[in-house]
Amino acid sequence: MTASDPLPPRDPLRAHSDRMAAIVDEVGTAALAVLGRRGAIASAGVWRPGLVVTAAHVFRRTPAAVTLVGGEARSLAATLVGIDSSTDLALFRLADEGAARPLRGGEAAPVRAGHLAIAVGRGGEGDTIASAGIVNRVGGAWQTWLGGSIDRLIRLDGGVYEGLSGAPVADASGAVIGIATAALSRSYGIVVPKATVSRVVDALLANGRVARPWLGIGAQTVPLPESAGATAGERSGLLVTSLASGGPAERAGLLIGDIIVKAAESAAANLRDLRQALAAHVGRTVDLAILRGGAPLALQASVGEWPGERRCG
């Protein structure tokens, strides 16, 4: 090769590898390890200055304080702000707000199936850990099995490796698209999208919890009898199979065997519909349209707050 010969082109595979390593380095500056009794149990991301988000399911009982590990094995103290088990998110506040830099701001491009997804976390010794794959499926808003509202389905093509639940997930540009969790699907890793995380963080900062509606019923979907004159949107209802003693439904006069057709003027074809209809009415009274013995009946119920979540703050 002479001085006049053109330089050989850069190996594209090496360039791709270097780019991915650069993304991991960048996101990793805001990634932390969450320490348990036997070492690191999860990763976490500094979502806003002084505020750390991780996965709630990694704790058997969410502690009031945790030890986090940053780069160079720096030990950081943090106290619990609140948890929302329904979206598998826990929020902690650093004792020293400036001890770790937050994740990069800005919006990521819309996520599509096939897009690269890079989870970046940290091990208990302060070392960076990462996993890369593709987005397996993207869908609309959905509810978790605990009734949490997720703004968009972002499903990974495999599971989440041990230690990476709670890790921030970035796209090919390095922009964070959400937080990884292994708890919201039995077969796939899920990314809790950025919009959901920010909404939950706001609620936890304001109230220490995310209020979820509660009527105090057990119910199952049943077809409505033709004699009920059901419309196209009311072909199914919720058969009340149990009542919590002293709960909102019992106080409203519901009985086992009643069929809930509507709640707050919205069809109640299944439990998901019921939760969505009541979500904005916690602490308020709503109208219930029911069938009792095949005859229509109107009741009013005061929507309670689900009592199972730990209150903080």
pLDDT digits (tens, 9 = 90+) for 185-206: 999 999 999 999 999 999 999 9
pLDDT tens, residue by residue, 49-70: 999 999 999 998 889 999 999 9
Q: Is residue 42 within 8 Å of 89, Cβ to Cβ? A: no
Our separate counts of H helices and E strands in the chain read 4, 22
Question: What is the pLDDT, as a whole number, of residue 313?
Answer: 33
How far does Cα 183 stand from its chain's mean position? 9
Identify the CATH number of the domain defined by range 10-210: 2.40.10.120
Helix (H, G, I), strand (E, B) or coil at 5: coil
Percent of the chain surpassing pLDDT 90? 72
- What is the residue-averaged pLDDT of the chain? 90
Question: What is the pLDDT, as a whole number, of residue 310?
Answer: 44
Q: Is residue 43 within 8 Å of 34, Cβ to Cβ? A: yes
Q: Which residues contact 59 (CB under 8 A, 6 or more apart)?
A: 36, 41, 90
Q: Which residue would you say has higher pLDDT here, 247 or 279?
A: 247
- Encoding tokens for residue 3? 């001085």
Helix (H) or strand (E) holding 24: helix 12-28
The class level of CATH for 213-305 reads mainly beta
Q: Over 70: is that where the pLDDT of 11 sits?
A: yes
DSSP 209: S
Question: What is the pLDDT, as a whole number, of residue 135?
Answer: 97
Residue with the two structure tokens 């509202």: 149
Strand partners, 130: 120
**Number of Cβ within a 10 Å radius of residue 79:** 13
Strand partners, 129: 121
Long-range contacts of 291-295 (CB under 8 A, 24+ apart): 291/224, 291/225, 291/228, 291/237, 291/258, 291/259, 291/261, 292/255, 292/257, 292/258, 292/259, 294/225, 294/227, 294/228
What whole-number distance in Å separates Cα of residue 313 and Cα of residue 303? 23
Report, as an integer, the average pLDDT of 124-147: 93
Report, as an integer, the average pLDDT of 130-141: 96
Helix (H, G, I), strand (E, B) or coil at 72: helix
User: Matching CATH topology for 10-210 and 213-305?
Assistant: no
Q: Over 90: is that where the pLDDT of 45 sits?
A: yes
- Encoding tokens for residue 34? 């969450």
Q: Is residue 267 within 8 Å of 260, Cβ to Cβ? A: no
Domain residue extents for the chain: 10-210, 213-305
Query: The pTM is what?
Result: 0.79
Q: Over 90: is that where the pLDDT of 42 sits?
A: yes
**Number of Cβ within a 10 Å radius of residue 112:** 11
311: confidence class by pLDDT, cuts 50, 70, 90: very low
Report, as an integer, the average pLDDT of 274-287: 88
Helix (H, G, I), strand (E, B) or coil at 291: strand
